[in-house]
Structure 1
């Protein structure tokens, strides 16, 4: 492991003559998230045995890249199973499919994301490239196996918040806006039920803020990491990590936390799952699996619209114009996308390694 630390330090020294400027909103996801333990694996390749590769395999297994049948054979060996998982992951996230743990791959691995797997039942269409209704483009949206959707007699859905938690009105408005984003383009409505145990149990969609293990076998992991998850129709289960530093007004300047995450952006994504959409490889789409802290993304992309209208058809009032994500990524530095250059990321790697080894 010391070899990887030394290699990272050498890389930093090579670039030290360049003028560097760290982002104003330094992404906490790369410094203190639960997946920061992957940073020392930079440069690992096939044939090596490195402490921490077993944890990475468990990550890939959770998100569908390694079959569950290998659960009893998770080791720190960089074997063909891990190599294949990395290559598929890189393909899904539009990275060079080398099977190596390079800088772009690690940047994606440690980014906060949705807890729903990218590959379900060993099948993946996240980056398959289906023929689009627009002859000049390719679709990358995906559906759950079997293409589940709400039946035709359940298109006016109700939702309710778990009665054990008092949800502020400002937070409820976030979800109302998120549901309306989808209702604008498909023939469905979403109405909140008044809070009570009965209304929660009878609602079509049941929203719960929870921490750690919360009864569905998909425990949350604290700040950053897995942000939320929602299941395919007609389950209606929508769970949000209560430990996150949620921003409810879309204004990151009002938050002093480096791990602030936009609640509306995440809610819109999870509602897509509740309606039947899987993950998309289009980075600007709502259904892209990852979102950095300090990022706001609330406008449906063409890929999202085409996918959801494949399931439900178009809202008769929808004028057919494609919404754009231009200008919808906001950070505390006034709208600059929260991405790191490779040099800046190397600095983050070294900082994390120094923390780990001191």
Structure 2
């Protein structure tokens, strides 16, 4: 009898005193996909990363305003599977924000998606750039030569060591201001691009990516244009949220 009671006590002590392993029933493949997601969107800003997987999951959960447990639950898994921008969510180490030092920026459309007429792509790109020129002193001029912001549609690996992953997942990515690839915006041609609420709306993604082209990091404010995951808003009634305005004003000031 004493042996039975002792075994029961030890079981209860182990059951409630120690946390269970990070996803208790996750397969090796699932754990690998979690690590790939965290490596891409929540990388360490230091050369060595001593954080545990649980700590990295907690960082991701905190950013997305989820219940911070460090465990893979349904809510966390759902966010990881949402279509999103390919730029990391943690601020990369920079001595100072990367911004353009000129007020007139050029852009070039290198190719077109077959999902929309060329004229509509051109109009949507202008509309997405206007989102930022309406609230800052910046203006954008289209050119057919080398440009500050080069716009391209591409599949998979496309020459920038940042390959796309097919339909869903990463929709597009852009680079902060600078030379060469700086300012450029790339869109995954595996997606089905539209100008409505079908598949992926090109205007919403382009406006977001051009925020990166101007130097903005991701925002963790739900509803902000620079929030990393995709959600639909009617482009005809779109207004740049206050969080995005305040952050772009800190870089370039207000439009007079």
| TM-score (normalizing by structure 2) | 0.81
The 1:145–1:81 alpha-carbon spacing in structure 2 relative to 1, beyond 3 Å, is: farther
The higher relative CO (CA closer than 8 Å, separation ≥ 6) is in 1
What does residue 254 of structure 2 align with?
Answer: 314
What does residue 50 of structure 1 align with?
Answer: 27
What does residue 183 of structure 2 align with?
Answer: 236
The 1:104–1:48 alpha-carbon spacing in structure 2 relative to 1, beyond 3 Å, is: closer
What does residue 286 of structure 1 align with?
Answer: 225
Is the 2:216–2:247 Cα contact (8 Å) retained in structure 1?
yes
The 1:113–1:163 alpha-carbon spacing in structure 2 relative to 1, beyond 3 Å, is: closer
Is the 2:131–2:240 Cα contact (8 Å) retained in structure 1?
yes
Q: Could you tell me how far apart the structure 2 residues matched to 1:164 and 1:113 are?
A: 21
Is the 1:65–1:88 Cα contact (8 Å) retained in structure 2?
no
Task: Give the greater-gyration-radius structure (CA).
Answer: 2
> 3-state DSSP class of the match of 2:185?
strand
What does residue 302 of structure 1 align with?
Answer: 242
Instruction: Report the alpha carbon displacement of residue 64 of structure 1 after superposing the two structures with TM.
Output: 2.4
The 1:296–1:44 alpha-carbon spacing in structure 2 relative to 1, beyond 3 Å, is: farther
The answer to whether 1:90 aligns with 2:61 is: yes
Q: Could you tell me how far apart the structure 2 residues matched to 1:291 and 1:238 are?
A: 16
What does residue 106 of structure 2 align with?
Answer: 158
Q: Could you tell me how far apart the structure 1 residues matched to 2:205 and 2:25 are?
A: 37
> 3-state DSSP class of the match of 1:228?
strand
Question: Aligned-residue CA RMSD in angstroms?
Answer: 2.6
Gaps of 5+ in 1: 1-42, 72-78, 124-143, 317-358
| TM-score (normalizing by structure 1) | 0.59
Q: Could you tell me how far apart the structure 2 residues matched to 1:55 and 1:237 are?
A: 28
Is the 2:83–2:229 Cα contact (8 Å) retained in structure 1?
yes
Is the 2:112–2:118 Cα contact (8 Å) retained in structure 1?
no
Instruction: Give a deviation string over 1:222-273, Cα, whole Å, max 9, x none.
Output: 111100000101212111101111112x2x3xx4xxxx01110000100100
The 1:114–1:103 alpha-carbon spacing in structure 2 relative to 1, beyond 3 Å, is: same
> 3-state DSSP class of the match of 2:205?
helix
Is the 2:84–2:230 Cα contact (8 Å) retained in structure 1?
yes
> 3-state DSSP class of the match of 2:170?
coil
Q: Could you tell me how far apart the structure 1 residues matched to 2:230 and 2:95 are?
A: 24
The 1:169–1:106 alpha-carbon spacing in structure 2 relative to 1, beyond 3 Å, is: same
The 1:296–1:213 alpha-carbon spacing in structure 2 relative to 1, beyond 3 Å, is: farther
Instruction: Report the alpha carbon displacement of residue 65 of structure 1 after superposing the two structures with TM.
Output: 3.9
Instruction: Give a deviation string over 1:303-342, Cα, whole Å, max 9, x none.
Output: 10000000000000xxxxxxxxxxxxxxxxxxxxxxxxxx
> 3-state DSSP class of the match of 1:146?
coil
Is the 2:61–2:76 Cα contact (8 Å) retained in structure 1?
yes
Number of residues paired by the alignment?
A: 229
The answer to whether 1:115 aligns with 2:50 is: no
What does residue 153 of structure 2 align with?
Answer: 209
Q: Could you tell me how far apart the structure 2 residues matched to 1:228 and 1:145 are?
A: 26
Q: Could you tell me how far apart the structure 2 residues matched to 1:80 and 1:50 are?
A: 21
Q: Could you tell me how far apart the structure 2 residues matched to 1:62 and 1:103 are?
A: 20
Instruction: Report the alpha carbon displacement of residue 66 of structure 1 after superposing the two structures with TM.
Output: 5.2
> 3-state DSSP class of the match of 2:56?
helix
Is the 1:120–1:145 Cα contact (8 Å) retained in structure 2?
no
Is the 1:285–1:303 Cα contact (8 Å) retained in structure 2?
yes
